[in-house]
Chain A
Amino acid sequence: MEQTKKVVSEAEAIQMLRQYNEDLLPKKFGIIGKSWAAFLLIVFLTGVYCYTNQLRQGLAITGMRDYVFWGIYISNFVFFVAISLVGSLVTAVLYLMNVPWRAPLTRISEVIAVAAIVFAGLIIIVDMGRPDRILNMFIHGRIQSPIVWDVLVVTTYMTLSILLLYFPLLHGIAFCRDNLKGIPKWQKWMYKILSLGWKYKTEQYNVVKKAITILSVMIIPVALCIHTVTSWLFASTYRAGWDSTNFGAYFVSGAFLVGAGGVIAGMYLLRRFYSNYDRYLTDHHFDRMGKLLVLLAVVYGYFSINEYLIPAYKMKGEEAEHLHELFTGYYAPMFWSVQFFGIILPIIVLLFKKGRKPLPMFIMAICVVVGAWFKRYLIVIPTMSMLPVQEIPEDWKHYTPTFQEWSITCGSLAGALLIITFFVRFFPIISVWEIAEERGIDHDTIYKHLNESNEK
């Protein structure tokens, strides 16, 4: 590691730092940014409005009924938990492995993780029949129930993720505090409070680095736990399609894949809308992330084969019925599209060097993320129509999400994107000091440079 570091002369370093700071300070949105935020806000608020309807009328406004009793709220929850795992992948795993190209990607992945896990928590409350009784979880909570495990690990992961986003950000907030000119008073206050009196001192960096190392070690098992426990919500039942010992690994591997897809999409969009970002999110980074995505897709493909091939070999009663529905029945078009666009096509495209250029990578990343959302739909919903369905109204047998249900679900997705969007607007999305460090500039130089610029 030490050998790969370039040694930079002081003058050169200060030149580079000045450049970084200029490039990476958060900027005001242009017309595209503003309309994007407005669009998200409208979708989000429509979802909130529909949720107030649901609070009044109950879950009757959804398409769920006694046979298909978990719908897109739950599959969306699984999706959120899945995509939030990327925080631990890029920030923690790549950090501990000393992967040199990770620095500009950490904050993108961490903010995706925080936004997703916050909305995972919210959407699961939306799914509750009696959200007013949520405190019962603490008053009467039973540790034997996987739901209680899920609450414990999701809140733990949320805390660790927020800290892992916040500690490395202190430098950035302080820098905004000192260098952003002509900003409203509240924004100045926000930076002042959030920067916790950061003074760019070497001791402070050392404390933060120590904290990042500890958090990175802690967050990896917790990340594995959140998605494994989420898979157990299904695997701990007797139902065909859920009753599988493969579920934990299957879910975790799928989660890393969709998370990597999310980060690539974020990288591309940032590069597209901020002119100087291609200096930091270079083709090299796309190339590396592309290779990582192929690896993750292959691993996920492996667990998917495990998940479907062995039951398909046995064709046991209810399992057979379930697999027929997926392979050739009602869900077949969705099932095969998801497998093809979500796993197979990205592997093929990204194996070629030309495929690992930003634009094709972006398209593949969108395929992976959208495919992953529908994959969760296919994991959650078809299983529930496998029980004796007699004596129930015709429309209970099939599940079609209602408009309000879609609206609430889209609202949650828009909400998560809003968190990311506002974050990009107000905070540096690429970590200056980590990049400086990656490129061989030591703390003393950073410190000197910043104090100089502050004195001016």
Chain B
Amino acid sequence: MDGNNPNGEITEKGSPSEDVLAMIKSKEEAVRFRESYSKLIRHRVLFIIIATIMLIITALYAITIGSYTITFTEVYENIWYWISGAEPPDITKYHIAAEVRLPRVLTAMLAGVGLAIAGTTMQGMLKNPLADPYTMGISSGAGFGAALALIVGFEIIAGGGIVINAFVFAVIPAVVILMMSKLHTASPTVMILCGIGMMYLFDALTQLFMISAHPEDMSAVYQWMVGSISGTDFTNVIIILVIVIAGSLVLQALSKQLNVMGLGDESAKALGINVENRRMLMMLVLTLMAATIVSFTGIIGFVGLVSPHIARVFVGTDNRYLIPSSAIVGALLLVVADIVSRTIVAPNILPIGVVTSCIGGPLFLFLILKARKEAWA
């Protein structure tokens, strides 16, 4: 606004030397502006690289952890036999390393990635820092589906067992919310309230079945609800992998629009975003992703809520960087939780969902205290 006085008169530019000074100032400002932007991007990329390296190292270590004694070298020799298709000398060690531990750690990583991305998207699109994939009633629906299979023996598809039941009932709340959004408006408040309504409904139905359940069945439902990645095989890993990769790519492609939606519905519409349409698409994708994971692992809480917040402390709120960062943090959190769950009371194994919350809770509180308070408006 140089050159104008408050009365609106254009003031005369100064002497040539003043013009030169103004030009130098303008160039200095331009350089500072570019530096500021480059610094921001460099910082984010660096975090993603460091976190990825940490994840790889932790995952490689996690594969060597377990109740069965098998050396570090033997683990990777057997995984190499699996990759190359060579005949393993010891079938038990091969089975433990390649068919039990490897899919277990891969499931932990994929579940962490999927739940964290779903949580990041949910918080962004609903403009609510308390939102996570389960806000939409996914966990309650899945829990009810599992309870039906375990207590009553009801299966939606014969032979589908808990997995299909949990998946279908995890998706039902999202379908109801989408229908309600079509009839009403797809506003964050309507979506959250519908999600809470569905959550209470399915929780109540689950309780109803559990009251009359046999103690063994009740224990099985409870164990499913605290989440576990033990017992997953490569068929499960491939299904989760395909859904998580497809979902992540779609949500990453929508990440810039998610940034704009963070300004509020009105501003986002004025900036060319079809807000309701985008919000419903995002919800559909993240629900499918979270429901698939939950149906195989049970309810692993907290990762979807806390991973975006941890990542946000380091990379800020630009979802183009936040989504991958949060994914890596989520994967890291679950792999670390897997290590802890297997070592802390070995040879017994703690449920990974419990360990995740026990690690994530204090870590989260510590980061809130240490973080720049501006990370949350």
State yes or no: do A and B come from one complex.
no
Q: Which residues of A contact B (CB under 8 A)?
A: none
